[in-house]
Structure 1
Amino acid sequence: MSDESQAKGMTANARVVIKLCGVLVLMGGLTAAAVPFYDWFCRVTGFGGATVTSDSESDTVLDHVVRVRFDASTARDMPWEFRPLSPYVDIRVGETGLAFYEAYNPTDRPIAGTASFNVAPFVTGGYFVKIACFCFEMQVLQPGERVEMPVTFFVDPEMLDDPETRDIPAITLSYTFHVTDMPEEYAALDAAIE
């Protein structure tokens, strides 16, 4: 093989390697962006039972009543006890509702947790609007601490204009608490106590 053909072969091989590296970088970038994009998509559309948020209450309250059921669970590694204080509430569509969940840390150490959530049936997700919720922020419970955590919400009146949702008599709001890495300020405090 001549020097010229070897140089062309190396150049072709180098181009293939560069292209493959570019494909790998692109695939890695798309993979990293998939989770936040999917989360954003679900929150905007209510897809998969994701709920919507608002800074204010509904302007319209209708006479149509919907039952909102409350469900609570914990991930396998979460030692907290977690439950709704009431199994359900009947509210008018557009009316602001307030519910409380209780969490208890029975361990001898502080534990941080975050709550994932959805509503069922999934098609109602885009019409279930949270104004304030404990699920918006990480929660830290000290050993033996018991807390009541509120969620303020309403069912958007536009739900009754949608043929898929207008006849739904009940919506279930579900939360699952997961263990989260302890924030640095708590970890440093915990280390100082030991």
Structure 2
Amino acid sequence: MPFATASSSRSTRPAWSPSHLVAARHASTTTTRASPAPTPSAPRTGPSASDRARLEEERRRAYYSQRNNSLLLYTAATFILGVGVTYAAVPLYRAFCAQTGFSGTPIVGLGRYAPTHLIPAWLDPRTGKETQRIRVTFNADSSDALPWKFEPSQKEIWVLPGETALAFYKAWNKGAKDITGIATYNVAPDKIAPYFAKVECFCFEEQRLLAGEEVDLPVFFFIDRDVMEDPSARDVKEVVLSYTFFGAKRNQRNGQLEPDTDLSQVSMSE
């Protein structure tokens, strides 16, 4: 009897029923649809190492090419500017000195002076007494290579501030050939130079003397009366006006006069 009970118990329900099979198939289908298999992604495309190196080299060449062009332009501009300044240095320096009295250079022309500056100052505005005259002496020199005799016609002139004066120099070409000369000048002491004005002079002008020729060279000048109001210059009572002659030639390119030191072919007359 116990064996019969056990046998009937195993036969009442099978291990796998049709309902279990349907449920298992449904679960398998659901799992497959919910998580599909991953698809492989396409590989990324980009420049290779050789392409990147080539692009970097092109950029580097373009940078250095642009920098070299800029350097070339700056160099050319600096060279042109230097040449221009060289040609303009002499006339600009002369104009600057003539207008400012720099380095003992007398001021040329009336320029900034009004007609009232040309009235002699008979009385000193500080003391009300008679103004003391200023002694102007003259000096002349010439280059050793220039066969000229150059000297002032007078030794000195006494002038009042604001009073005009006329002086002369003599130049004599003792050479056997025609020679062109040019003169530079200065005034001592330097502090009087801004007040020493030359209305007319032969400085920085071409002076061509024939062989054996002698000429008179005039200088028309005055000392500005404002000098009496300058504490550093109002006590100056002696002034030296100096001229120096050099041989000169005209530049064939720019037409300007320049010093001529090649006078070896010029012989002195006896």
* Same-fold call, TM cutoff 0.5: yes
Q: Give the aligned partner of residue 166 of structure 2.
A: 98
Q: In structure 1, what residue type is equivalent to 2:214? A: R
Stretches of structure 2 lacking an aligned partner (at least 5 in a row): 1-52, 123-130, 253-270
CA distance in 2, matches of 1:95, 1:11: 66
Please provide the CA RMSD for this pair: 2.4
CA distance in 1, matches of 2:148, 2:171: 7
Assess, with a 3 A threshold, how the Cα gap between structure 1 residues 36 and 139 changes in structure 2: closer, same or farther.
closer
Match of 1:21 among 71, 76, 96: 76
Identity %: 37
Superposed CA deviations along residues 56-88 of structure 1, whole A, max 9, x for unmatched, are 975310233000010000023211010011111
What are the within-5 Å matches in structure 2 for residues 40-189 of structure 1? 40-54=95-109, 58-63=117-122, 64=131, 65-135=133-203, 137-181=205-249
Q: Which has the larger radius of gyration?
A: 2
Assess, with a 3 A threshold, how the Cα gap between structure 1 residues 23 and 182 changes in structure 2: closer, same or farther.
closer
Which gives a bigger RCO, structure 1 or 2 (Cα 8 Å, sep 6+)?
1
- How many residues are matched? 184
Higher strand residue share: 1
TM value normalised by structure 1: 0.83
CA distance in 2, matches of 1:23, 1:142: 43
CA distance in 2, matches of 1:28, 1:145: 38
Contact 1:117 1:173 (8 Å CA) reproduced: yes
Stretches of structure 1 lacking an aligned partner (at least 5 in a row): 185-194
Superposed CA deviations along residues 146-193 of structure 1, whole A, max 9, x for unmatched, are 122111111111111111110001111000011112699xxxxxxxxx
SS, match of residue 158 in structure 1? helix
How far did 1:136 drift?
Answer: 5.5
